[in-house]
């Protein structure tokens, strides 16, 4: 009887430990509601206080100079990174009053905001990044930038990617509070 209780207790402890460990790395964003414009596929994240709206590159280049990108930030998703690095968008990125996050990039923000740097030819960063952010400031020509990386040099885990999104959301919230 004592042995059965010991086995039961040990198995309960082990399952509690395993479930605790599998979620302990997740630090989801719980701050203010954020509205994110997205060029590309909407990210699959679990935060409930994030709303998304679709955007297009054409929203960055209206003839009258106004920008149709709304919200707290702009995400440019992996399938659009090569096009996003076209020099014709640099001035548009600099006109935005919200941060831009290049999701899925293993490179810095440089191919997107500096002339004559092609995304395909730009160097990757180490440790391997998953997102780069940029916000132009007129008093600082280089603007403000962020790189979001995982812990592993090779492949990022699903938990690391979710943590990176949460870090991006916290960064956006912090920008909103300070500007």
If phi > 0 it is left, if psi is from -120 to 50 it is alpha, else beta; for residue 71 that is: left
Q: What are the beta bridge partners of residue 37?
A: 53, 74
**Residue 91 pLDDT greater than 70, yes or no:** yes
Do the strands 73-76 and 50-54 form a parallel or antiparallel pair, or are they unpaired?
Answer: unpaired
Phi, psi of 65 (to 5 degrees): 85, -5
Q: What is the pLDDT of residue 64?
A: 56
- 61 three-state secondary structure: coil
**Residue 19 pLDDT greater than 80, yes or no:** no
Q: Are 171 and 30 in contact (CB under 8 A)?
A: no
Question: For 14-18, 24-28, 44-48, 76-80, which range has the lowest pLDDT when averaged over its residues?
Answer: 14-18
Beta-carbon count within 10 A of 22 CB? 10
């Amino acid at each position: 009887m004592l042995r059965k209780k010991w086995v039961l207790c040990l198995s309960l402890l082990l399952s509690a430990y395993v479930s605790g460990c599998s979620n302990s790395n997740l630090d989801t964003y719980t701050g203010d509601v954020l509205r994110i414009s997205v060029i590309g596929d909407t990210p699959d994240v679990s935060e409930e206080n994030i709303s998304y709206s679709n955007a297009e590159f054409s929203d960055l280049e209206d003839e009258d100079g106004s920008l149709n990108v709304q919200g707290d930030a702009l995400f440019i998703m992996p399938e659009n990174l090569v096009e996003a690095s076209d020099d014709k968008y640099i001035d548009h990125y600099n006109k935005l009053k919200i941060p831009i996050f290049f999701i899925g990039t293993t490179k810095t923000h440089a191919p997107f905001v500096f002339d004559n740097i092609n995304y395909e030819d730009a160097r990757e960063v180490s440790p391997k990044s998953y997102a780069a952010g940029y916000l132009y400031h007129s008093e600082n020509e280089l603007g403000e930038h962020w790189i979001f990386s995982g812990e592993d040099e090779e492949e990022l885990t699903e938990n690391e990617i979710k943590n990176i999104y949460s870090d991006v959301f916290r960064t956006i919230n912090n920008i909103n509070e300070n500007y």
